[in-house]
Amino acid sequence: MQAGLLRSFQNSSQSRGMTAWFISAMLFAFYILMYFTSVFDPLATALGLGSRWNLYGTLYTLAIIVGGIYFLKRHGNSRYHQLRTYSLIFFQSVMAFSIPMVMEIFDTKGFVFSIFWPLKMDYFYPQNIFEYPVLLIVYAFLSALIGVPIMTILFGKRWYCSWMCGCGGLAETAGEPFRHLSNKSRKAWRFEKVSIYSVLVLAIITTVLVLVNWSLGTHAVSGEWSTEHSTLNLVSSKVQGAYQFIVAAMLSGVLGVGLYPLMGSRVWCRFFCPLAAILGIFQKFGRFRITVKDDMCISCGNCSTYCEMGIDVRAYAQANQSFKRAACVGCGICAHVCPRGVLRLENKWDFKTEPAGLTPQSIDF
C-alpha cells in the first residue's frame, strides 16, 4: 500500500468536503486579488520584492518546494519520482525564478528558458520578443518550433509537463493531495478534446493576427501602441487582450489553481493549455507509451484514481492494451501505485497503434 495515499477519500479537504470548498474559495480570492488589484503591492514592497509579481513568483516557488517535499514523502521510494521532483524544483527555482530575477538586477528584461510559446504567448509577440538580445530571440523561436517537437517525439510529453513546466510543477507538488479528484468519465474526455484544441486554435489565431498586424507596420513604437487606429490594429489588440484575460489569467491562474481542491490539480493542463495540446499531438506520433503487462491487472482502480489527467488507465490495463494518450503527462504515478506492477512507462519505437475509433471501454468486447 502506498502509505501517503491513505485516507485520500476520508479527509474532508481531499474529498470535496467543506474544507475543500473553503480552500478553493481562498485560492480564487487570492488569484483575483493578485491578478486584478494592487492589494499585494504594499506587502511586496515591504518585503523588498519590488512588484507583486515577484511576490507571486516567490510564493509559487515556495509552494513547489514545500509541495515537492510532501510529494517525496508520498512517493519518494521511487527513483523516477525523486529525479522528477528534483527536476521540477530546479526548473522552477532556478530557471523560472532566480535567473529572470538576476537578469532584472542587470537591467535586462527577465527571460524564462523553460517556458515556450504558446504557453508564453509573449515570446512570439514581436513587440515583446524584439526587446531581447538576438540569441534569446533565436532561442525562443527554435525551442518552440523545433525543440518541443523533437523532445516530445523522443520522450513524450513528460520531459516538459512533469519534469520542467511550472504549471505542471505546481500540480505535481502542491497539487499532489488533490490528484485523485480529476474526472475520469468519458464525458470529461470528450470535453477535453474539444476544449484543449479550441484554446490551441485561439492561441494560433491570436499569434498570427498580432504578427500580421506588426509586419504591416501598425505595430507598437517603442513599447506603445500606434495611434493609427486601423481596423486590423484594433482587432489585433482586442484579441490579444481578450486572450490574455481569458486564457492566461482566468483559465491558467484563477480556474486552473482555484479548482485544485475540487477538480484535481491538472484542470488547466488537461483542458486548456495550448502547449500541452501541441505536445499531445507529437506524443501520439512519438516513442513514449505506457506498456501494459498482459493478463496481470486486478482492476483495482488505483491507476485510474490517481491519474491526475483523468485517463481511465484501468480500462486499458484490464484490456491488455498498451496505450498512448495525448493527455498523458507521463508523471508515472499510475505505474507507481499499481499493486501488481502491471504498467511501465517506456520510450520505444515498436508500438502497434491501436485500431482507430475504439474507446477503451469497447476494446475488450
Partner 1 sequence: MHYVIIGNGIAGITAANKLRGRDSSAQISIISYEHDHFFSRTALMYAFCGQLSERCIEPYERDHYDSMKFERMRDKVVRLDADAKKLSLESGNEINYDRLLIASGSLPLMFGWPGVEFEGVGNFVTWQDLKWLKEKSESAKRAVIVGGGLIGIEVAEILLKAGIKVTFLIREDFFWPVALDKTEGLMIVEQMRHHGCDVRLSTEMKQILGADGKVVGVEITGGEKIDTDIVVISIGVTPQTAFLKDSGIEYGERGGIVVNDYLETNIKDIFAAGDCTEVVWFNGVRRPEQLWYTGRDQGEIAGLNMAGDKHEYRRSTFYNSAKLFDTEYTTAGLVNFRLEGEHNWYMREGKTDRTVRIVYLPDQTVAGFNMLGRRWDHRVLVKWIEEKRKLDWVLEHLNEANYDEEFMPPFEIPKELSGVK
Stretch that binds partner 1, among 4-12, 85-93, 222-230, 256-264 (CB under 8 A): 4-12
Piece in contact with partner 1 (CB under 8 A), picked from 65-73, 133-141, 268-276, 291-299 = 291-299
**Residues 90, 296, 321, 354: which binds partner 1 (CB under 8 A)?**
296
185 lies in the binding site for partner 1 (CB under 8 A): yes
Compare residues 37 and 185 and give the one whose CB is closer to partner 1.
Answer: 185
Binds partner 1 (CB under 8 A): choice among 51, 98, 230, 299: 299
Min dist CB 84 to partner 1, Å, is: 9
Residue 85 touches partner 1, criterion: CB under 8 A:
no
Q: Which long-range contacts (CB under 8 A, 24 or more apart) does 347-356 make?
A: 347/154, 347/155, 347/156, 347/287, 347/288, 348/287, 348/289, 349/287, 351/287, 351/289, 351/322, 351/324, 352/322, 353/324, 354/321, 354/323
Q: Which three cell numbers stand for residue 310?
A: 483523468
Nearby residues of 297 by Cβ (< 8 Å), 6 or more positions away: 314, 317, 318, 320, 340, 342
Binding part of the chain for partner 1, among 27-35, 102-110, 198-206, 297-305 by CB under 8 A, reads 297-305
Single out the segment in contact with partner 1 by CB under 8 A; choices: 77-85, 96-104, 225-233, 264-272: 77-85
Number of residues counted as binding partner 1 (CB under 8 A): 43
CB of residue 57 vs partner 1: minimum separation in angstroms? 30
Binding segment for partner 1 (CB under 8 A), chosen from 10-18, 91-99, 136-144, 259-267, is 10-18
Looking at 13, 300, 321, 351, which residue binds partner 1 (CB under 8 A)? 300
Verify binding: residue 302, partner 1, rule CB under 8 A.
yes
3-state secondary structure the chain: CCHHHCCCCCCHHHCCCHHHHHHHHHHHHHHHHHHHCCCCHHHHHHCCCCCHHHHHHHHHHHHHHHHHHHHHHHHCCCHHHHHHHHHHHHHHHHHHHHHHHHHHHCCCCCCCCCCCCCCCHHHHCHHHHCCCCHHHHHHHHHHHHHHHHHHHHHHCCHHHHCCCCHHHHHHHCCCHHHHHHCCCCHHHHHHHHHHHHHHHHHHHHHHHHHHHHHHHHHCCECCECCCCCCHHHHHHHHHHHHHHHHHHHHHHHHHHHHCHHHHCCCHHHHHCCHHHHHHHHHHHHCCEEEEECCCCCCCCCHHHHCCCCCCCHHHHHCCCCCECCCCCCCCCHHHHHCCCCCEEEEECCCCCCCCCCCCHHHHCC
Query: Which residue lies nearer to partner 1 by CB, 143 or 320?
Result: 320
> Which parts of 13-32 interact with partner 1 (CB under 8 A)?
15
Q: How far is the CB of 231 from partner 1 (least distance, A)?
A: 49
Alpha carbons 294 and 55: distance in angstroms, whole number: 50
> Under the criterion CB under 8 A, does residue 363 sit at the interface with partner 1?
no
Q: Taking the complex as a whole, how short is the minimal distance between the CB of residue 68 and partner 1, in angstroms?
A: 17
Q: Contact between 222 and partner 1 (CB under 8 A)?
A: no
| Of residues 249 and 331, the one with the C-beta less far from partner 1 | 331
Report 331-360 residues binding partner 1 (CB under 8 A): 332, 335-336, 339-341, 344-345
Shortest distance (Å) from residue 168 CB to partner 1 = 18
Contact pick of 93, 207, 304, 322 for partner 1 (by CB under 8 A):
304
Instruction: Choose between 2 and 58: whose C-beta lies nearer to partner 1.
Output: 2
| Positions in the binding site for partner 1 (CB under 8 A) | 1-3, 5-11, 15, 77-80, 83, 185-186, 293-296, 298-302, 304-305, 314-315, 318, 332, 335-336, 339-341, 344-345, 361, 364-365
